[in-house]
Amino acid sequence: MSAADAASRQAPLALLCGGGSLPLAVAGSVAARGRAVVLFPLRGAADPQIAARYPHHWVAVGQLGKFTRLARAAGCRDVVFIGSLLRPPLWQLRFDWTALMALPRVIAAYRGGDDHLLTGVARLFEHQGFRVLGAHEVAPEILMPDGALGGVTPSAGAREDAAFGFAYLRAAGPFDIGQAVVVANKHVLAVEAAEGTDAMLARVAQLRAAGRIAAPAGSGVLVKAPKPAQDRRFDLPSIGPQTVEGVARAGLAGIAVTAGETVIAEPAALIAAADRAKVFVVGLPAGQ
Amino acid sequence: MSAADAASRQAPLALLCGGGSLPLAVAGSVAARGRAVVLFPLRGAADPQIAARYPHHWVAVGQLGKFTRLARAAGCRDVVFIGSLLRPPLWQLRFDWTALMALPRVIAAYRGGDDHLLTGVARLFEHQGFRVLGAHEVAPEILMPDGALGGVTPSAGAREDAAFGFAYLRAAGPFDIGQAVVVANKHVLAVEAAEGTDAMLARVAQLRAAGRIAAPAGSGVLVKAPKPAQDRRFDLPSIGPQTVEGVARAGLAGIAVTAGETVIAEPAALIAAADRAKVFVVGLPAGQ
């Protein structure tokens, strides 16, 4: 670590917060290590409660200048993007002068898929002198470990379904699709694209209720992995208690994710939900 | 063509009819060529109306012996499976003696994906002395031609989206997933698996209504192609007027399918719906 790096890591960390419970988990983890955090909750996305416990400044998507001014004033050099952010409708964007000057680059990024968009946005922050880190770099305990969480472990058949799902996600990687697939007896039941994991699981539950799934209830696996070309600093796949509940409603046996590359939201609640629903949650080595 | 082939082609054709309007279209096309047809509508799947105009015998899934007896009595040697058939729930199956004797082979087929199931079922009919043909072999005019149907033609961007979709379907082929994908500006919005094309299009319409699709209304393409390993004698991808309506509701620009490998249900109604909705329907060379 260089002297500049070390100085950067002692300065307060700027957390640009989207939706969900992850921003608070990351803030808590960073603060517990003795590093100060300054939250920048995004209007329309971040949970108003997350701001209560830390110094914070609400910002709108597009207020790059406001963010830059406030983060610099707080002494921040490192920025982490964390939490969910749906592609905001254009009318919700609030471009300030700094953002307007950077707009051509944002528009170019919008033309590509999400990955390119986020990498393009990260470049704007770097252009303002910040270093953009991944949440896993500042709070590694949010990542899924190797092995099973909770008391249920996957059967040999479930492990085969997981391997089938990982192989599919690798093959689909160049097409920049979703990060998840549902596999039962090596038969793909659902593929996630723009709708997100929860909506995909709801679909599987409907198909099962309609008698359109041959595999018996209690079989089938939700498989999640980052896209091969994904910028790991943002948008790592994540699972939480609601994923477990969706998996249980869909009548699946469990969840398989890549260890060390998947974020766990609310681990204690996730484990409790998994044990209650008799669903396994397993981290497997990436590339398996 | 051998003498046996020629004799077989003069004998009445047995049509095992699932749901939808295709069975009637195929029956009409075969009859118009002067060949007699005998329909075997499947209980719970076939439209009761289709039986009105042709000699017919209702059968349940599993009545292989009944089918064999009646089809032989009618002089049929060739069988075509046509129309949609959801995986029937077990309690709907009516196994007769002939089917029971063949059950071990059916169970083995059930373990694989749909393709293997249908190929396994076809083998049972072949074992009874029938020849199983594809609907396109007896009624080639039901297939999508090369080029656009109706008055709307795809833009250069839509053709690029179609090529992207075909490339994805080829890559996903080994995983035996669905036959369709929705692509807008080279961004995959939805992938079809067990839910079927109509449900996938309804999902895209919902995503669009929720403002979660960046591509403007009137852009994006539904791309359909057979799975690479698919037995072309059954389950060729098909489109019809309701596909066009689903595409229009999803705010897409049009439909791209592989020419000569996609069945068109109700072509006149499809073209009228496409022109009304200003949606293109184009057949492109397979492998493009």
Statement: residue B75 has pLDDT above 90: yes
Q: Best residue in A116, A160, A170, A175 to probe B by mutation, most B CBs within 10 Å?
A: A175
Q: How confident is the model at residue B271 (pLDDT cuts 50, 70, 90)?
A: very high
Most confident of A97-106, B83-92, B117-126: B117-126
Closest-CA residue in chain A for B91?
A211
Q: What CA–CA distance (Å, rounded) separates A214 from B154?
A: 38
User: What's the pLDDT at B72?
Assistant: 96
Q: Is some CB atom of chain B closer than 8 A to the CB atom of A164?
A: yes
How distant, in Å, are the alpha carbons of B128, B152, B281 from that of B278?
Answer: 48, 6, 10
Say which range, A49-53, A116-120, A139-143, A251-255, has the weakest mean pLDDT.
A116-120
Q: Mark yes or no for CB contact A190/B190 under 8 Å.
A: no
- Residue B6 scores a pLDDT above 80: no
Mark yes or no for CB contact B194/A176 under 8 Å: no
Mean pLDDT over B20-36 rounds to 89
For residue B111, what pLDDT band results from cuts at 50, 70 and 90? low
Closest CA to B188 of B198, B173, B210, B203: B203
Give SS3 for A29: helix
Nearest C-alpha of chain B: how many angstroms from A96? 22
| Residues B252 and B202: beta-carbon distance below 8 Å | no
Q: State the nearest Cα–Cα gap between A91 and chain B, in angstroms.
A: 11
For residues A22 and A82, is the Cβ–Cβ distance under 8 A? yes
pLDDT in tens, B177-230: 878 999 999 999 999 998 989 999 999 999 999 988 888 899 999 999 988 766
What pLDDT, on the 0 to 100 scale, is given for residue A207?
Answer: 94
Give the residue from chain A lying closest to B201, CA to CA.
A195
pLDDT of residue B93: 61
3-class secondary structure, B178: coil
DSSP secondary structure string for all residues of A136-192: HHH-GGGB--SEEESS----HHHHHHHHHHHHHHHHHGGGT--SEEEEETTEEEEE-
CB contact under 8 A, A191 and B193: yes
Name the residue facing A189 among B89, B193, B213 (closest C-beta). Answer: B193
Task: Report pLDDT for B109.
Answer: 58
Cα A70 to chain centroid distance, Å, stands at 26
Q: What is the pLDDT of residue A242?
A: 94
CA angle A214, A217, A222 (to 5 degrees): 90
> How many CB contacts within 8 angstroms connect chain A with chain B?
86
Higher pLDDT among residues B113 and B173, named by residue: B173
Chain A closest-CA separation from residue B151 CA (Å):
29
Per mean pLDDT, which range of A104-118, A180-194, B94-108, B133-147 is the poorest? A104-118
pLDDT at A280: 98
Q: pTM to 2 decimals?
A: 0.79
Output the furthest CA–CA distance in chain A (Å, rounded). 62
Residue of B nearest to A175 (CA): B168
- Is the pLDDT at A87 greater than 70? The verdict is no
Mean pLDDT of B46-69: 88
Please, which pLDDT band fits residue B98 given cuts at 50, 70 and 90? confident
Mean pLDDT over the full length of chain A: 86
Across the interface, of B110, B186, B199, the residue whose CB is closest to A214 is B110
Assigned token pair, A163:
């391997």
pLDDT, average across residues A125-140 = 89
> Do A240 and A265 contact (CB within 8 A), yes or no?
yes
Interface with chain A: mutation pick from B85, B117, B177, highest number of A CBs within 10 Å: B177
The alpha-carbon gap from B258 to the nearest alpha carbon of chain A, in Å, equals: 20
Q: What is the pLDDT of residues A219-264, one digit of tens each?
A: 999 999 988 766 777 778 889 999 999 999 999 999 999 998 898 9
Contact A212 B113 (CB under 8 A): no
Write down the residue that tokens 């603060």 correspond to. Answer: A31
| A contacts of B220 (beta carbons < 8 Å) | none
Predicted-complex ipTM score: 0.75
pLDDT surpasses 70 at A7: no
